[in-house]
Chains A and B, each alone.
Chain A
Amino acid sequence: MSSLKTKLVPRKSAALAAVAAATVLAVAACGGGSGSSSSAAGSTSNSGLGGSGVLAQSVYDSAPVAPASAIPAGSTMAMIKQKGQLTIGAALDAPLLSQQDPTNGKIEGFDADLAKLLAKYITGTTNVKTVTIGTQTREAMLSSKQVDAVFNTYTITPERASQVAFAGPYMSSGLAVAVKSSDNSIHSVKDLSGKTVIVGANTPAITELPKAAPNSKQVAFGTDPEAVQALTQGRGVAYVQDLTLLASDAKANPAIKVVGQPFTSEPYGIGLNHDDAQFKTFVNNWLKTIESDGIWAKVYQATLGSVVQGPVPTPPAIGSVDGS
């Protein structure tokens, strides 16, 4: 009752609380360590892939530069050339597509390398300023001209094309299915009907999965490592995600495997300002140039080609998709 009398028990000291909190943090960190071992392994080998995913300097050196006639005064290209750098919107956490290497700050991957090559085509140097961009902000950043272009596995859709212009498609990928390595009952997306399936939050899988596998139940996780962890812990029987991402996950983590072929076609475009037809034509011409002289294939081989099996695919025809 003595403490009831005084009511407020004085805090022993801040130090006591700090020690207690530190202890629990340490315990939590241990638990988390074992809990997220596979995602830790994933990030290690991703940086390993980053090593092989770096495009050789000779490719940049041999990349084309636009003739002066292609850059009329007053155009977007002329302004970029005057600034001496291309400003793009991109992610920093997409392995093999656009991932920042924390040791040197360089951004590597298929999308990032193409952006550097476009910068070289316009300015003569591979000088790119990357603005981190979210899937919710891409349209707004382009229409307010805060970025010149978006390289962000930006799937071309008619809805989006009403707000932005798409150059390309420059790549075609699709949603695929990953399951636990021990699972032999699922062979394609059709086997997912009525099952619980893990998807990435804010990815096309959320809208595409119900079409391909009716009655499937979705659980969405915010990041790719979380989704992989959830799959290995049995929160769902499968993980549906873009094939390139799944391929690098499966290479990093032997506990999961990719089954079947991609069940959708996701044509990726370069997002540009909606009202700048001149710049769109210019970027499309650049894409045709690098696709015909073999540079596109070299970029693919150095990045996505290191995990996706099979020969280098043929790039999709420019303007072949509704919305491009």
Chain B
Amino acid sequence: MNALTGHLSVLGHGVVTTVELTAVTTVAALLLGIIVAILRISPVPMLRGIGLVYVEVLQNLPLLALLVLFVFAFPQIGITFPLFTSAAIVIAAYEGAYMAEAIRAGINTVAVGQAEAARAIGLTFSQSLRYVILPQALRAVIQPIGNICIALLMNTSLAAAVGVVELTQAANNVNLVEAQPIEVFTGAGLAYMVLALIIGFTTGRLERKLAIVR
């Protein structure tokens, strides 16, 4: 295990970057997902159209292609973001589409009567969303959102292709010195597994805690 223990600081920095990237993009993707899901159920046809196009476009393009496009095409028109920021923006936008679909599925689980009741007591569209629909909808899809978070964690490894030194890139760099790919990548794989288990455990706890007892 010398190949791993001799490079703990490099691998540790990689883990920290992966966790940072995952945390930032999860929050951004969740907010984006809520907004897009609301667009998709809004009463205005145009907004529904924008939501639909957003989801279909982002879900149907490979993440790596989006990353490379964003990092290399935007500087061409004079907009250059740092690499970490670029990766975070693209991954958040991409995972936001998946979040939106999960949240929309949650909204569909809320009975029609709830929305009708909300309207009957005089709540506006946004009030009925805030106080009636979304609190129930989000509770219903905690586990699917957790699954998207885990997929997001795995997808952060693609940021390595555009120069972000996260866990995968760190493992590559260590392997370059040690030429022990089995040890190094098993170690990196275990680290990803631990992170994914933490996410799974957290969402499992959250789901039980926030379950609606009907």
Stretch of B18-26, B140-148, B172-180 at the chain-chain interface: B172-180
A17-B56, A220-B163, A220-B169 are known; give 15 further A-B pairs, CB within 8 A.
A2-B43, A8-B108, A9-B41, A17-B52, A17-B53, A20-B53, A31-B76, A136-B175, A139-B181, A219-B163, A220-B160, A222-B162, A226-B68, A233-B76, A235-B163
- How many whole Å from A43's CB to the nearest CB in chain B? 15
Residues 215-244 of chain A, each 1 if its beta carbon lies under 8 Å from chain B, else 0: 000111110001001100111000000000
Interface size for B (C-beta < 8 A) is: 46
Interface centre among B73, B112, B119, B128 (most CB of A within 10 A): B73
- How many whole Å from B165's CB to the nearest CB in chain A? 7
Q: Which residues of B contact A7 (CB under 8 A)?
A: 41, 107-108, 110, 112, 115
Question: For chain A residues 119-146, which have a beta carbon within 8 Å of chain B?
Answer: 135-137, 139-140
- How many whole Å from B68's CB to the nearest CB in chain A? 7
Closest partner residue, chain A, to B129 (CB atom): A4
Stretch of A65-73, A108-116, A184-192, A200-208 at the chain-chain interface: A200-208
Known: A31-B76, A220-B169, A233-B75. A160 touches B179 (CB 8 A): yes
Pair B80/A233 contact, Cβ less than 8 Å? yes
Residues 127-165 of chain B, each 1 if its beta carbon lies under 8 Å from chain A, else 0: 010000100000000000000000000000000111101
Pair B41/A4 contact, Cβ less than 8 Å? yes
- How many whole Å from A216's CB to the nearest CB in chain B? 14
A20→B54 CA distance, assembly (Å) = 9
Count of chain A to chain B residue pairs whose CB atoms are closer than 8 Å in the complex = 129
A278→B73 CA distance, assembly (Å) = 53
Residue of B53, B119, B162 near A1 (CB, 8 A) is B119
Closest partner residue, chain B, to A220 (CB atom): B163
- How many whole Å from B213's CB to the nearest CB in chain A? 23
Q: Which residues of B contact A201 (CB under 8 A)?
A: 160-161, 169, 172
Asked if B201 CB lies within 8 Å of chain A CBs, one says: no
A203→B177 CA distance, assembly (Å) = 10
Pair B76/A35 contact, Cβ less than 8 Å? yes
State the main secondary structure of chain B at its contact with A: helix
Asked if B35 CB lies within 8 Å of chain A CBs, one says: no
Pair A11/B107 contact, Cβ less than 8 Å? no
Pair A234/B80 contact, Cβ less than 8 Å? yes
Asked if B203 CB lies within 8 Å of chain A CBs, one says: no
A204→B162 CA distance, assembly (Å) = 18
Question: For chain A residues 248-263, which have a beta carbon within 8 Å of chain B?
Answer: none
Residue of A36, A198, A206 near B176 (CB, 8 A) is A206
Pair B72/A21 contact, Cβ less than 8 Å? no
Pair B160/A235 contact, Cβ less than 8 Å? no
Pair A35/B73 contact, Cβ less than 8 Å? yes
Residue of B43, B73, B176, B177 near A32 (CB, 8 A) is B73
Asked if A83 CB lies within 8 Å of chain B CBs, one says: no
Closest partner residue, chain B, to A218 (CB atom): B165
Q: Which residues of A contact B72 (CB under 8 A)?
A: 32, 35-36, 226, 229-230, 233
A42→B179 CA distance, assembly (Å) = 31
